[in-house]
Structure 1
Amino acid sequence: MHRKMTITLDEEVYEGLYRMVGRRKMSQFIEDLLRPHVLDRSLDEGYRAMAADQEREAEAIEWCNALARDMSDETR
């Protein structure tokens, strides 16, 4: 789904945009520029890669369990 948005640009910037991409392609050009900045998927990909690393996950679980034991020992 697309949403309509009104933006304000300096006249010189608008004219340059018009010359470079044309009237009917401005919206797509701006969307393509913005997309990687507002829909950052690299963090998701990084988490997926970390979860797939079984050795790292085993170490993380071991660390969490040791931390939980330490915390339970402190409360006694």
Structure 2
Amino acid sequence: MHKKMTISLDEAVYEGLYRTVGRRHISQFIEDLIKPHVLDTALDEGYRAMAADREREAEAMAWCNALVADMADETR
């Protein structure tokens, strides 16, 4: 669901937006810029990308297993 909002911009900024992204695309352009700053999705997306990297996950698992083995060998 979208909400309507009225904002004030400097005339030069508005003209630059109009020239750069076009009349019917300004709202989406602004939303795309703002979204990462107000929603905590960037971290989630990063974790999803890391989990999808099978080679990286295999290396991480090997590192964790080696660390556990080192801790088991450690005398207290």
**Which bin holds the TM-score, normalised by the shorter protein?**
0.5 to 0.7
TM-score where L is the length of structure 1: 0.55
Runs of 4+ aligned structure 1 residues displaced above 6 Å come to none
Counterpart-to-counterpart distance in 2, 1:23 and 1:45: 30
Task: Give the gaps of 5 or more residues in structure 1.
Answer: 47-54, 56-76
> Hey, what does 1:5 align to over in structure 2?
5
Task: Give the gaps of 5 or more residues in structure 2.
Answer: 47-63, 65-76
> Hey, what does 2:23 align to over in structure 1?
23
Counterpart-to-counterpart distance in 2, 1:12 and 1:26: 14
SS of the aligned residue for 1:8 comes to coil
Q: Which has the larger radius of gyration?
A: 1
Query: Aligned-pair RMSD on alpha carbons?
Result: 2.5
Which letter does structure 2 place at the counterpart of 1:7?
I
TM-score where L is the length of structure 2: 0.55
Q: How does 1:1-76 map to 2 (within 5 A)?
A: 1-42=1-42
